[in-house]
Amino acid sequence: MEKLFEKLANKIITKEDLILILEEIEIAKNLLFQKPEILLSEKLKNKVSESFKKEIENLEKEEKYISLEKFSEFFDNFKEFLLKIPIVKLEIAFEPRESFILEINEWFKKNLGKKVILDLFVNPKIVGGAKIEYQGKWKDYSLSKKIEKIYE
70 and 128 both lie in a single domain: no
Half-sphere exposure of 6 (CA within 13 A, CB side): 6
75 and 92 assigned to the same domain: no
Per-residue model confidence (pLDDT) at position 64? 61
Residues 78 and 92 reside in one and the same domain: no
CA distance 132 to 116: 13
Range of the domain at 6: 2-83
In whole angstroms, give the CA distance from residue 86 to residue 70: 27
User: Do residues 69 and 121 both lie within one domain?
Assistant: no
Q: Same structural domain for residues 8 and 70?
A: yes
Strands 137-140 and 117-122: unpaired
Same domain, 69 and 134: no
Q: State percent of the chain over pLDDT 70.
A: 96
Query: Does 102 share its domain with 124?
Result: yes
Indicate the residue among 59, 83, 107 that finishes a domain. 83
Q: Domain check: are 39 and 53 in the same one? A: yes
Domain end point (choices 83, 116, 133): 83
Are 32 and 94 found together in one domain?
no
pLDDT digits 0-9 by tens, 93-148: 999 999 999 999 999 999 999 999 999 999 999 988 899 999 999 999 888 777 77
Inter-axis angle of helices 50-61 and 15-32, to 10 degrees? 50
Residues 96 and 120 grouped into a single domain:
yes
How many structural domains are present in the chain?
A: 2
What per-residue confidence (pLDDT) applies to 123? Answer: 94
pLDDT at 152: 67
| Mean residue pLDDT across the chain | 91
Both 127 and 112 in one domain: the answer is yes
Residues 75 and 115 in one domain: no
pTM (two decimals): 0.86
Task: With beta carbons less than 8 A apart as the criterion, state whether 90 and 122 touch.
Answer: no
pLDDT of residue 67: 81
pLDDT of residue 51 exceeding 70, the answer is: yes
